[in-house]
Amino acid sequence: MKFNVGLIAAAMLAAGPVFAIGSGGGGSVPSCSEDSWSCGEWSQCSSAGQRTRGCVMTFDCAQASTPKPAESEGCEPPAPAVQPESEPAPAPQPTPTPTSQPTQKPAPKPAPAPRPTSVCSADTWKCDGWTPTCDANGNHTRSCAIAADCPTAETPGPAIAKPCERLQCGDKAALADRISCRLNLTPAGQIREYALQYLPEECRVIPVGPGRTQCVARYKSFQPCWDERDPRVRQNCAAEILQIGPSVADEARRCQGRQGKDRAACAQAVKDKVYTMIKFRFYDLEERAEELLERGANQEAVTAFITAVETKKQEFNNATATDDRRRLILEVRLAWKDFLKAVGPDLR
């Protein structure tokens, strides 16, 4: 079997160290280090010197267990109402001179009616409506304020955030729009998006069926590799998942001793592994571009680069000739060099 080892060699030289931080191409799920909590407004300070609020988890990080924020705390109680000073008693009036008329006692004044006692059990909160669109964290939000303070209750404020229930980026029609949208999401927002739909851009163009399912499974299998900073460790991770040895030539020679369909199937399997590894390196460049975005690179330039690489990846899948695949590898490498020139030497 004749196999062009130069294809994978060219891809391996394409990029240096990179740490995955996001997924403009829709394939790598960003790692997280803490849960996200959203808390309502604090209640009024009670006479006992306590105020409360309600908190709800808006993002559950699988790799962390962040404590719930405090929902009560001490505060300065309100000052007691100042009672008005009593008015001085009126001066005594002189005793009238008795007359022949009989003295009549004045009629007693009726007792004042008791004032109704105000009874309440909770503070009253007033909230605006939920935002129709979701924020970068993947949540609908609203603002709430206390409308009536019950002096005998400490009612926590209502939730001011709730998870999105629909896609923010995945339902956009254009590839560049989907990529740009994902780049605007925080890691929490990206994970929320992928919980609703995990469909890498390379897999999106494959018709629904076994081919797409296999594509999605392959991207998921590479997730542990993106947590590595060292490119050699990351590449070894991908190679181990693909069960491909350090030498492509050795892999190809193992097929020589087989016959007929068995030999053809072996050769095709080696090709598929090598091509997948090349596309892994393509994606590696996308992730590095996103790292530069975090350091201040222009988002339009990052979006354009990732869009170009995703397009080349699709062309690579459709290519039938070795020369076409080699050309695409070189074009991706050239696009990366042009991108680095565009972002400037300070960010390289």
Range from 97-101, 117-121, 338-342 that averages highest in pLDDT: 338-342
For residue 68, pLDDT beyond 80:
yes
Q: Would you kindly state where each structural domain of the chain is located, as residue ranges?
A: 6-29+198-347, 33-66+126-174
Place of tokens 């959203």: 38
For residue 162, pLDDT beyond 70:
yes
- Average pLDDT, integer, range 154-179: 91
Name 145's Cβ contacts closer than 8 Å, sequence gap at least 6: 41, 125, 126, 127
Angle at 228 between CA 226 and CA 229, to 5 degrees: 115
Query: In this predicted structure, what is the pLDDT of residue 328?
Result: 97
Q: Where are the beta strands (DSSP E) in the chain?
A: 36-39, 50-52, 55-59, 72-74, 124-127, 139-141, 144-148, 161-163
CB contact at 8 A, 268 and 252: no
- Average pLDDT, integer, range 190-201: 92
